[in-house]
């Protein structure tokens, strides 16, 4: 029969051992959750920075997204920063778009998290939308070599929406065109057929402030947003009024379906 209600040395050692085991198990789990929280916050900060960049770029404050990143990140690095002390850099996709990568949470190789333009920590743009817009991407409808019965056969390609081609660029067929097998092999950016029937999207998005505003630095493939609609510039010149302006020529803009 025990003389007192206190713990024996053995019992105390057992309790200490149990506590040590629980701490050993809990600390890695806590650190793991903390790392995930920091990564989530990092992605959110990159999304926010990208959104600010896009707005400034679309209002013609900067000539490119890369220049918008360089300026805005240097000005707001304290606000848009990685909780794990990572640094942000801009990686260009080569088509006028790009992504913000973190030295801690994304190596920029394309294996990181993300996908949509609002989640620039990822490797590739969204398979559903053209980066920086709500334009729904279409499956590539450019003819493949297997679509031609014979070498001399031709295929008609109807006008459609924006799609991503095998070269990594984005295109739109703005007028129904007929191509041969060799012409199709040159891709939608080829110049062996009526090249005004297809456009390579530049990645530049412009807006107009009034119906009588005229821009002078447009390039074929530039996109203009009017409300919820998008248009692509298909003229060979550089001057144009907005696509919905009564002063604009009907041959200058193609409304993306």
Domains, the chain, with CATH or none: 9-102 (3.30.1300.80), 125-256 (no CATH)
> Tokens 């000005």 correspond to what residue?
75
Mean pLDDT (whole number) for 64-77: 82
User: What number is the average pLDDT over the span 76-82?
Assistant: 80
Angle at 106 between CA 53 and CA 56, to 5 degrees: 0
Q: Which residues, including other chains, have CB under 8 Å from residue 58's CB and lie 6 or more apart?
A: 132, 205, 206, 207, 225
Could you report the per-residue pLDDT of 198-225, keeping only the tens digit for each?
999 998 999 899 989 999 999 999 999 9
Q: What is the pLDDT of residues 19-28, one digit of tens each?
A: 877 776 666 6
Helix/strand/coil for 246: coil
pLDDT band at residue 3, thresholds of 50, 70 and 90? low
C-beta of residue 120 within 8 angstroms of C-beta of residue 99: yes
- In the predicted model, is pLDDT for residue 123 greater than 60? no
């Amino acid at each position: 029969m025990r003389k007192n209600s206190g713990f024996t040395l053995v019992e105390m050692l057992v309790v200490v051992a149990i506590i040590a085991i629980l701490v050993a198990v809990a600390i890695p789990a806590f650190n793991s959750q903390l790392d995930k929280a920091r990564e989530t916050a990092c992605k959110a900060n990159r999304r926010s920075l990208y959104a600010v960049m896009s707005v400034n770029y679309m209002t013609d404050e900067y000539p490119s997204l890369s220049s918008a990143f360089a300026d805005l990140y240097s000005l707001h690095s304290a606000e848009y920063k990685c909780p794990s002390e990572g640094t942000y850099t801009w990686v260009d996709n080569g088509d006028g778009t790009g992504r913000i990568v973190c030295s801690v949470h994304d190596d920029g190789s394309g294996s990181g998290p993300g996908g949509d333009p609002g989640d620039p920590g990822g490797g590739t743009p969204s398979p559903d939308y053209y980066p920086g817009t709500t334009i729904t991407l279409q499956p590539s409808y450019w003819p493949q070599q297997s679509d031609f019965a014979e070498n001399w056969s031709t295929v008609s390609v109807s006008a459609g929406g924006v799609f991503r081609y095998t070269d990594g660029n984005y295109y739109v067929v703005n007028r129904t065109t007929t191509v041969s097998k060799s012409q199709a092999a040159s891709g939608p950016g080829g110049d062996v057929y009526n090249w005004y029937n297809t456009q390579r999207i530049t990645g530049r998005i412009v807006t107009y402030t009034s119906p009588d505003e005229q821009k002078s630095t447009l390039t074929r493939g530039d996109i203009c947003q009017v409300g919820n609609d998008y248009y692509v510039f298909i003229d060979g010149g550089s001057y144009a009024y907005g696509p919905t302006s009564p002063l604009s020529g009907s041959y200058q803009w193609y409304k993306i379906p």
